Amino acid sequence: MLLQAFIVCASLALAFAAPFHNYTRCANQYNSTQLQALEAQYTQDLAAAEASGSLQRITTPSTLSGGSSLVCRPIQVAWHIIYESETVQGGYMSDKAVQDSIDALNGHYRGTEFRFLLDRTTRTKNKTWFNDVDGDSPLQDDMKKQLHVGDARTLNVYTVNFPTAKSLGYAPYPQFYAQAPWNDGVVIKHSSVPGGAAVGFNQGKTLTHEVGHWLGLLHVFNEDGKCVDWDFVSDTPVQSTWTEGCPTSKDSCDGLPGEDSIHNFMDYSMDVCLTEFTPGQIARMHAQSDLYRKISRGFCPWDWPFLG
């Protein structure tokens, strides 16, 4: 059975004035059987690429002699603003707001080698797209087919409203690109960008979370509510529930090594709580992007932002 080509990250129908612990970041639509099939596909694709010699793994020092450059994996970003009126509430974003989002994304991905560079910004006035697009809607197909640019290496970001689904965002896994290239790209709620109106979720970390999916990461918690590994990453402790708010600590699988990854970008904590990817997650993003996105790894000038 064909797996769905997106992850829907939907919040509960709750006003921002309500307690933050009731505002859920995502409602992932995959179960354990589907994820096992997805991972099996990745394993098969990886083995085939290695056998054919089509997978290029570059092992280079982190800096050139003289310290003039640093290894990085540059990703061009096409930012598509969907709005209903030329106001912040209506979804309109200034050039500065877009660049602030790119800067925040680079800050969150510091230490991963990935560097995001804004290539273009488009603005489309479409009240229907702005208000009604979600992962299950034919409207999102129309929107993406008209606006998507680039190839598997290009990150397309779409900002909309999601009033019906109360969503914060959704994104495809990288292995879905071959099935529907036009469907590739991250869709987020416009008010989740830095300084937006989504109180508690307005530091740009919804985009960071969804780009993690776009690069091949799963949630750190078991969506079946079991104390069984879920994300195929060895250095994220087993976690049976997502995190709400920003607790001091949490251990949903008492007796197993480690506490819950409440500060991990792939949990559902409030933005202020999310600060990290693990080395294992970074390695997985590298492997998935090498295989499915062919993102070049090379030397970038020191004067590029967030290279340190």
From 114, 71, 47, select the one nearest 293 (Cα to Cα): 114
The number of beta carbons lying within 10 Å of the beta carbon of residue 300 is 17
**CA 270/CA 22 separation, integer angstroms:** 11
CB 288 within 8 A of CB 42: yes
- Concatenated DSSP letters for 143-164? HHHHH--S-TT-EEEEEE--TT
For the question of residue 210 being annotated catalytic, the response is yes
Amino acid at 281: Q
- Nearest residue to 5 (alpha-carbon basis) of 189, 144, 124: 144
| Structure-block tokens of residue 16 | 């921002």
* d(C-alpha 192, C-alpha 270), whole Å: 11
The two three-digit tokens of residue 170, written as one number: 């959704």
Q: Which listed residue (84, 113, 210, 244) is catalytic?
A: 210
Work out the burial of residue 193: count CB atoms within 10 Å of its CB; fewer than 13 is exposed, 13-18 middle, 19 or more buried: buried
CA distance 116 to 211: 11
Active site residue ranges: 210
